[in-house]
Amino acid sequence: MSLLNALVARGSVVLAEHQVPSERDFSHATQTILSKIPPNDSKLSYAWEQYLFHYISEGGFVYLVMADDSVGRKLPFAFLADLQRKFLELPSSSAAVLSSTPAYGLQGTFSPVIASLMHTYNTAPPQDEIARAQAELNQVKDIMVQNVEQILSRGERIELLVDKTDTMAHQATAFRRGARTTRRQMWWKNSKTLALSVVVVLFLLYLIIAQFCGAALQCGVAS
């Protein structure tokens, strides 16, 4: 177990407490630590034997947890923050009501809440803020990598499309050049055919006239 004992107190008056099953009773140690906590708001850790007592003192109330020294400070203070939040959510958590609550006056109602919260942090503690931020950062990084891959994939397809477009443009240019060359060739061919036809017609006309007028084409000249 990492967290061994936790409580909520008004000054040095314990309102509710929970201790994991143990052969030792830490009540004397917790009372000694409570007597050393100043009345002003503070947050601190005390060493006692191989254990550490971590506390948050705020608004006249003390939230304290005893833990193994190997746990560090992040987990216990995260637990205390949750403990404080749950305590302030109680319907009877107003200062006016709690100012007259006797010692262990909330033991029956709030001790099970402390026990449940300690069990959670001892068995499956929530991610701390750094780990949560790192996990979110990794998630964002994965999303960015996927987006970049998608962009690169689209870029490759766009580049391929541009290449195909350029090829089609070159083919169209070559087709237009070929068409112009073909038109010029056809024009010259048609022109030659027309010129040849004119020559043939003139030659045939000459032959017809020459039959009646002679080779010199002197039809109207007397012999």
Say which CATH number the domain at 46 has. Answer: 3.30.450.50
Q: Which pLDDT belongs to residue 160?
A: 59
Least confident of 14-23, 28-37, 170-179: 170-179
Tell whether 133 is covered by a domain.
Answer: no
Domain count, the chain: 1
Label residue 56 by pLDDT band (50, 70, 90).
very high
List of residues 6+ apart from 74 with CB closer than 8 A: 128
- Direct distance between the N- and C-terminal alpha carbons of the chain, in angstroms, rounded to an integer: 151
Of 202 and 139, the structure prediction assigns the larger pLDDT to 202
Most confident option among 48-52, 112-116, 210-214: 112-116
Most confident option among 107-111, 129-133, 137-141, 157-161: 107-111
Tell me: pLDDT of 113 over 70.
yes
Tell whether 181 is covered by a domain.
Answer: no
Q: How far apart are CA 14 and CA 21, in angstroms?
A: 19
Which of helix, strand or coil describes residue 60? coil
Taking only the tens place, the pLDDT of each residue in 59-91 is 989 999 999 988 889 999 999 999 999 999 888
Tell whether 121 is covered by a domain.
Answer: yes
Tell me: pLDDT of 49 over 80.
yes
Tell whether 221 is covered by a domain.
Answer: no
Tell whether 31 is covered by a domain.
Answer: yes
Label residue 163 by pLDDT band (50, 70, 90).
low
Of 176 and 49, the structure prediction assigns the larger pLDDT to 49
Tell whether 8 is covered by a domain.
Answer: yes
Range of the domain at 90: 3-126
Contact assessment for residue 63 and residue 80, using Cβ atoms and an 8 Å cutoff: yes
Tell whether 85 is covered by a domain.
Answer: yes
Tell whether 68 is covered by a domain.
Answer: yes
Q: Which two tokens stand for residue 57?
A: 């003192």
Q: Which pLDDT belongs to residue 77?
A: 95
